[in-house]
Amino acid sequence: MKLRYKILNSILAVFVLLIGSVAIAIGYTEDCEPAAATASKNTMKAVIYRCYGGPEVLEYVNVAKPTPLDDEVLVKVHAAGVNPLDWHYMRGAPYVMRLISGIGAPNRQTMGVDFAGVVEAVGKDVTKFKVGDSVFGGRSGAFGEYLTMPETKAIAQIPANMTYEQAAAVPIAAITALQALRNMGEVEAGEKVLINGASGGVGTYAVQIAKYYGADVTAVNSTRNVAMVLGIGADRVIDYKKDDYTTQDIKYDLVIDMVGNHSLTKNADVLKPTGRLVNVGSIDKGNWIGPLIKPIQTIFINPITDPEIVGFVATMNQKDIEILAKMMEEGKLTPVLDKSYPLAETADAVAYSETGRARGKIIVTVK
Ligand SMILES: NC(=O)c1ccc[n+]([C@@H]2O[C@H](COP(=O)([O-])OP(=O)(O)OC[C@H]3O[C@@H](n4cnc5c(N)ncnc54)[C@H](OP(=O)(O)O)[C@@H]3O)[C@@H](O)[C@H]2O)c1
């Protein structure tokens, strides 16, 4: 064998070995160790996870109550919202996310992100919030009685016309809908927008925010949710149990896809040449690349189609939380609430989210 082929073979072998080792490492799941009792005298109830797995790994325990840093507020949580993100973290799946969340076991044991509650204390440098303010936002640890949060991150005042449960239903799902429509989809008044997965957490906000921007909205959801989705402002509904929007002869300016149940090329076919497809999520499960298939395909298909095809990951920030608060205050955005669970039953709430059958948002109440 020529030397250059030998070198190439060696490089290939090292590469395969490296990929194999990374795959074994990220696919490895440590056993759950018994919970160590907290040494702190100042404790609170919280739901934590010490190992990856199903809802049975979620534990309702006493943990140390956090203390705010100089630039942080201490929030007494009244309600928390549940998102698919929570069970992705709980399972550490797809495995590639363990590169961030922790290899073998989670680096951070707190759970939940969306919260609403009351500011109980403020650090000495905090100027924007004061004790007693009703606030909502996104921060790891929402499934607990207290959390701390830098005042400049994704936190804002709750509008007076909203309950804690409604406010807790907003952050991740509504920010995702807002950024999908405004930043990625560049929606404009009068455009024809199709929302696939209109009855879920993100979808119920996408319908309302698309209407806020003056779009003509076609929602795709199942029979049982038709009335609810028309009630939040959709101009028409395609019931996916009866019709397939990809086989209809209607062209859209923008498709926001939370479901990913049609190929990218089929979705591109329902778009005008200047149209945009924003892939938000997917019902594909799986530990390896299941949910990542569409984002990977997007990279290859976008350059060869006229419509723009993009995927994205929403980013939490204060400005957008404030924009959403204003929309709610003006009555332009009303969260759709599904079931609610007490904090001690958070595992049931997350299990329900995993069924993929939520109608709007699932809530955990923290009393
Ligand atoms: N990219 C990002 O930054 C980002 C951020 C947040 C969420 N996501 C992802 O976006 C997706 C949606 O999130 P979510 O919070 O809205 O989830 P969700 O609340 O669990 O969505 C559930 C909804 O999906 C509907 N659905 C299921 N199959 C459907 C189909 N074939 N056609 C139309 N609707 C269908 C269900 O309606 P029926 O029960 O009636 O079928 C249910 O109302 C998830 O994959 C999530 O991980 C991504």
Distance 356 CA to ligand 1 centre (A): 6
- Altogether, the residues listed in the chain come to a count of 367
- pLDDT tens-digit map of 32-87: 877 777 778 899 999 999 999 999 999 999 999 999 999 999 999 999 999 999 99
Whole-number Å distance between alpha carbons of 157 and 160? 9
CA nearest ligand 1 atom 40, residue: 222
pLDDT of residue 34: 72
Distance 233 CA to ligand 1 centre (A): 18
- pLDDT tens-digit map of 164-222: 999 999 999 999 999 999 999 999 999 999 999 999 999 999 999 999 999 999 999 99
pLDDT of residue 109: 95
pLDDT of residue 205: 98
Query: DSSP H helical segments within the chain, as ranges?
Result: 3-27, 84-91, 98-101, 164-168, 171-179, 201-212, 226-231, 264-269, 293-301, 318-329, 346-354
- pLDDT tens-digit map of 144-179: 999 999 999 999 999 999 999 999 999 999 999 999
Query: DSSP H helical segments within 70-170, as ranges?
Result: 84-91, 98-101, 164-168
Residue whose entry in the numeric block shows the structure tokens 């969306």? 114
CA nearest ligand 1 atom 21, residue: 200
Lowest-confidence pick of 4-18, 146-160, 219-233: 4-18
pLDDT of residue 338: 98
Interval 262-290 mean pLDDT: 91
Sorted by where each begins, the domain ranges of the chain are 1-29, 43-164+339-365, 172-311
Q: What ligand 1 atom has the least distance to the C-alpha of 172?
A: 6
CA nearest ligand 1 atom 45, residue: 281
Whole-number Å distance between alpha carbons of 14 and 9? 9
DSSP string of 202-256?
Answer: HHHHHHHHHHHTT-EEEEEE-GGGHHHHHHTT-SEEEETTT--GGGSS--EEEEE
- pLDDT tens-digit map of 317-329: 999 999 999 999 9
Q: Tell me how many degrees the CA angle 322-324-326 measures, rounded to the nearest 5.
A: 70
- Shared fold status for 43-164+339-365 and 172-311: yes
> 43-164+339-365: which CATH topology?
Quinone Oxidoreductase; Chain A, domain 1 (3.90.180)
The b-or-e profile of 299-314 (16+ CB within 10 A means b, else e) is eebbeebebbbebbeb
Does the pLDDT value for residue 255 go beyond 80?
Answer: yes
Question: CATH number of 172-311: 3.90.180.10, 1.10.3720.10, 3.90.550.10, 3.40.50.1360?
Answer: 3.90.180.10
The count of C-alpha atoms lying within 13 angstroms of the C-alpha of 249, restricted to the half-sphere facing its C-beta, is: 0
Residues in contact with ligand 1 by the CB-under-6-Å rule are: 83-84, 172-173, 176, 196-197, 199-203, 220-222, 224-225, 240, 258-259, 261, 280-283, 312-314, 353, 356-359
